[in-house]
Structure 1
Amino acid sequence: VKAGPDLEPFVKEALDEIEYVIGDTTTVWGARRAKDGHPAPFKLTYVEVGNEDYFDQKKTYDDRYAQFHDAIKAKYPQLKLISSTPDAKLNGRKPDMVDMHDYSATDEFIKKSANYGADMNRSGPEIFVGEWAAHEDAAVRPWDQGSHKLPPTPTMKAAIGDGVFMAAMERNADIIKMHCYAPLLVNVNPWARQWRPNLIGYDALSSYGSPSYYAIQMFSRNVGDEILPVTFANTSIQGCATRDSQTGEIIVKLVNPETTPQSLPIEIKGVTALKSKATVITLSANPEDTNSIRRPRNVVPVTTTISGVKPGFTYTMPPYSVVVLKLKTR
């Protein structure tokens, strides 16, 4: 659809949809929402215009985005608009956020994640990594026919790729405001899927989380509100760190991509003392290990406690592992 009069019905439809979500009950669509059983407006912060429009060979996205942008901002200036094409010119309009997608193999994520974000423009739009997932082998991409011969959910090898990329995104959380693994769910029955890997598998009776699911769970449930700078030297381990400003707890997330244990000297600067015991959450398995309907908890995190913690100490990571260290200050 070309921008201009041909696109106008779709712009109006988008405005009607937004009104249904956040309009008060004196509006046409807000009243309809109330009639449907939800009188209170929903919370809405972001609206994305399109999806993966960089595949548009006719290059019409700039014009189409501009038309949606002008109409939505005129009626709902408080909403943040997301461009589906990060490098688009957009006819001079400035999106509040851009949507980046990344489906890379684990080895590719390991390579790119170490210095990820160094070239990001901090004065530009915020970033939403709206679709991402690691797969095990660059020779078999998710969209390749060969992927249908693989299990529908990822192995521990993919979880390692997910872990290093999540650490990179968390280190750059000043500009990467949101991310979303995709796809989330898959019917594991034969011929029921269109894509792999998928985070959670299910059939008619049960469901299970993949190793990647548990890696994401570890990251999402253990996060502070202050990003701490981290540096790594002479190691293949990658990670990130945050601090809880209310409790002072320091949360260190580490990923060991090696098939052997790795000893890592850890130095916490700016802290005079730590409690000697710390909580450790560990996800570790062989690269090919995974979960399934029959073995739903074959690979799951284990919580333990370590002693001898201080501002400078050495921690030995298990092979092929994602680890969360929760360090309490005195």
Structure 2
Amino acid sequence: MKKIITFIGLITACFNVYAQETKVYNITADKVTAQISPTMYGIFFEDINMAADGGVYAELVKNRSFEFNTALAGWQQQQKNGGSGKISVISRSDERPENPHVISVEVTSPTGYFGLSNEGFRGMGIKKGETYSFSVMACKKLKSNTAITVELHSAKGEVIGKAQLTPTATNWQKYNVKFVANYTDSKASLYVWLKGKGSLDLDMISLFPTHTWKNRPAGLRADLVQKLADLKPGFLRFPGGCIVEGRVLANRYQWKKSIGDIDKRENIINRWNTEFDHRPTPDYYQTFGLGFMEYFLTAEDIGASPLPILNCGMACQFNTGQLVPMDQLDPYVQDALDLIEFANGGLDTKWGKLRADLGHPKPFNLKMMGVGNEQWGEQYIERWKIFTKAIKDKYPYIKIISSVGPYAGGKEFDLLNKTFRGLNADILDEHYYNGPKWFLDNAKRYDNYDRKGPKIFAGEYAAQSVTTGSPDNKNNLECALAEAAFMTGLERNADVVTMASYAPLFAHVDAWQWTPDLIWFDNLRSYGTPNYYVQQLYSLNKGTDVVPLLEANEAVSGRDGYYATACLDKNKKELIIKFVNSGANNQPVLFNIAGVKVAGKANVISLGNTNKTIVNSLDKPLAISPISSTINVTGDAVKLTVEPYTFKVIRLKTL
């Protein structure tokens, strides 16, 4: 009896698979409706979730220059084998206001070791066989004969790497030593031991792996930048959103303080350190080791157009909303003009020469800039007008990104949308953090937008599995598919939508403030979420020209839970179909192709699972990831079945 029931169950399952009526769609491949911008799919970077310090910036030492509000945060006094001494924090604010604190370490015992240890950013990720570069600014006191021993300790306290150096100068000098780790540990720590009676002043205690992105000294974490490069993004927006504004204006991002000598870049508190009660992070600071020069270089490295966002004289309106008086706005405007000169200016200009002096004589070819992040209201409009006039008068080719507020609708959005359209703004920056249903329901959002008005930048979006800002949000398949469905509407309306980027980008698994996020990492590993693979599939299969894909002369945008778009890649001579099945049933589909002839095989990439709540993780990084296959094509029709909860990309050679 059991076998009979099982057999009946199999028959029922098969019936459910094949009984679905085939959906027929028509593609007119010789009728281009829109051209797709090369910048269509890009990256939004913000230093949230320890994305920079403790993340993509490969420095392993936390509070290396003792500039946290608690000067020795991240450090602990240590002694062994009878060593003794004391540590004092010295202020030199008159001499070095941008880096006012150093420490003086006095060894009082003739034997043993005295010093301090650093915990890193939730530990230090150390790899066996990797070479590490330790450096320190040191000043020897007269008659001192004190040597430094550097040790890496595993989480169990074992020494897993060691080196020595001896400061010799009585003025400030930089000392370096390299050594190889003999063990892998994601929660290691650094010990700096002093031996021999005497005293040393120390600053900028630093540790980097030598294998960084492009092996640049004191550079970026290679695996994380590689994940960005693998997206092949059209643009890189930086340095973020709300950190551009700051809680107060004194804590805003100032690009001129983020370039040049590392020890002269002024540290500030990261505005996300106490923003959320559910994830307070009081040790979250910005060293600006990842500054504007590094952002421009990274954009260039990964083939992305740079998109800097600058403060417009307004602090975050979700916090203080502090304003610069209109008659004191000139320095803020000048920062914008100087940044364009820094990026594009010739060697005969002040800021262009500085770019060359920093190692990049060739211009960065900056074409666009954001004025303000997520501002709203009349006070933003009046400041925007001043910025826009000044920039356009001197650099008319620069496209200006303009905020339409933090929401996808409502009075703030309506005011800015109407005003900026009336002022012929270049590009409007729309943000959406909503549930998956919102994204499914709004895939037609741009179908009826004014074709002659400003272009749209879908600047920040992510489906929230619980609710906006909830710590329980997950990067699950359901959310990723909702975003994929919404993006069919972005691509279908590429004559209006010129750029789009998911947000936020990075999150440290032990130090996040906001979820969901595109890429998660710990101190050694990283993984892309299902959302990451949706972004990647769109970017790698962007195409050049949109063509109609219709069902009964209507766009495929939600009927029965299906979403689709089609485009040509004229460079590769291919037709690209993107199809989302957001429902729980298999769906046979037939694409009738007119206007071009296609080859007898198609490449198919599938992203899906029968469990829409599935997520990726450090231990299962590819639980949801693209799977490639090929299918045969008969004549000018493509027939296949799209599984439940699946996003498919079909590529066909055109003849």
Report SS of the residue matched to 1:148: coil
Match of 2:305 in 1: none
Counterpart AA for 1:187: H
- 8 A Cα contact 1:131 1:181, kept in partner: yes
Mapped to 2, the partners of 1:92 and 1:111 lie a distance apart of: 28
Match of 1:276 in 2: 600
Report SS of the residue matched to 2:590: strand
**Per-residue deviation at 1:91?**
11
Mapped to 1, the partners of 2:492 and 2:423 lie a distance apart of: 28
Say which of 620, 625, 632 aligns to 1:307: 632
The Cα offsets for residues 35-76 of structure 1, whole Å up to 9 and x where unpaired, read as 12211111111111111112x4xx211110000011111111
Say which of 159, 181, 205 aligns to 2:524: 205
Counterpart AA for 1:185: F
- 8 A Cα contact 1:226 1:243, kept in partner: yes
The Cα offsets for residues 188-212 of structure 1, whole Å up to 9 and x where unpaired, read as 11xx111111000000010000011
Match of 2:132 in 1: none
Larger radius of gyration between Structure 1 and Structure 2: 2
Gaps of 5+ in 2: 1-322, 405-415, 553-558
Match of 1:66 in 2: 385
Counterpart AA for 1:157: E
Match of 1:171 in 2: 492
1:225 aligns with 2:544: yes
Higher relative contact order structure (alpha carbons within 8 Å, sequence separation ≥ 6):
2
Counterpart AA for 2:467: R
Mapped to 1, the partners of 2:440 and 2:421 lie a distance apart of: 36
Question: Alignment length, in residue pairs?
Answer: 315
- 8 A Cα contact 1:264 1:314, kept in partner: yes
Mapped to 1, the partners of 2:393 and 2:373 lie a distance apart of: 22
Say which of 471, 483, 502 aligns to 1:148: 471
- 8 A Cα contact 1:281 1:303, kept in partner: yes
Structure 1 residues 239 and 275: CA distance shift in structure 2, 3 A: same
Match of 1:298 in 2: 623
Match of 1:22 in 2: 344
Q: What pairs with 1:99-178 in structure 2 (closer than 5 Å)?
A: 99-113=429-443, 115-136=444-465, 140-143=466-469, 147-151=470-474, 154-178=475-499
Mapped to 1, the partners of 2:418 and 2:325 lie a distance apart of: 16
Mapped to 2, the partners of 1:89 and 1:313 lie a distance apart of: 46
- 8 A Cα contact 1:65 1:90, kept in partner: no
Mapped to 1, the partners of 2:369 and 2:630 lie a distance apart of: 43
Structure 1 residues 269 and 92: CA distance shift in structure 2, 3 A: closer
**Per-residue deviation at 1:3?**
5.8
The Cα offsets for residues 98-146 of structure 1, whole Å up to 9 and x where unpaired, read as 1111122212111111x2312211111111111111222xxx2232xxx
How big is the alpha-carbon RMSD for the aligned residues of Structure 1 and Structure 2? 1.8
Higher strand fraction: Structure 1 or Structure 2? 2
Match of 2:329 in 1: 7
1:31 aligns with 2:353: yes
Gaps of 5+ in 1: none
Say which of 343, 360, 364 aligns to 1:42: 364
Mapped to 2, the partners of 1:222 and 1:91 lie a distance apart of: 31
- 8 A Cα contact 2:464 2:473, kept in partner: no
Structure 1 residues 294 and 24: CA distance shift in structure 2, 3 A: same
State the identity %: 37
Structure 1 residues 28 and 237: CA distance shift in structure 2, 3 A: same
Mapped to 2, the partners of 1:157 and 1:91 lie a distance apart of: 35
Mapped to 1, the partners of 2:403 and 2:383 lie a distance apart of: 12
Report SS of the residue matched to 1:164: helix
TM-score by structure 2 length?
0.46
